[in-house]
Amino acid sequence: MKYLIVGLGNIGKEYEDTRHNIGFNILIQWAKEAGFLFEIKRYAAVAHVSFKGRQLYFIMPTTYMNLSGRAVKYWMNELNIPIENIIVLVDDLALDFGTLRLRGKGSDAGHNGLKNIDAELQSNQYARLRFGIGRDFAKGRQVDFVLGKWPKIQMEQLPERISTAIEICQSFCTAGLANTMSNYNNK
């Protein structure tokens, strides 16, 4: 069984540790904890590990957020991974900071990365783990908020929330979508 785990974000120093890059941050922490390395390949930084009899492939698209679908489609086809074995890690304004919500499909909710993935795959029938970033911004300041750095108090809480996100991804790959949603959503 092969799985594609997609962390969404933007490449470049100016985007490091921004709310919009939480997908990258989850995969980076996972790599540090598990001791695997990413290699720059076509459209993405890519890594592969075996986990409990499953083959996990990780990608961090190098196409920038708005063209993430290009990387997802390429690696899904290249690795011959079915859409039901894909999970996308994404920031979500509609959820309070640190809230984690797994869904098996759904709308893009205005998120440009998801919009592009939907367009490239011609489907929204893939799992997504939404990581709440909150919505503490003034009217018209959404872009600045999303591309802004985490405040100190949230930076201190991030490692624990990211560890839970990793657990959710591992459960998705081993226990399945329904069991994982039942065990982790609304906690």
Nearest to 86 by CA among 39, 45, 41, 118: 118
88 phi and psi angles, rounded to 5 deg = -110, 130
28-43 burial, b for 16+ CB within 10 Å, e for fewer?
Answer: bbbbeeeeeebeeeeb
Helix intervals (H) in the chain: 22-34, 68-79, 112-121, 142-146, 152-175, 177-184
- Could you list the active site residues? 20
22-34 helix and 152-175 helix, angle to the nearest 10 degrees: 70
How many CA atoms does the CB half-sphere of 49 hold within 13 Å?
Answer: 17
Q: Kindly tell me the burial class for residue 102, based on how many C-beta atoms sit within 10 Å of its own C-beta (0-12, 13-18, 19 or more).
A: buried
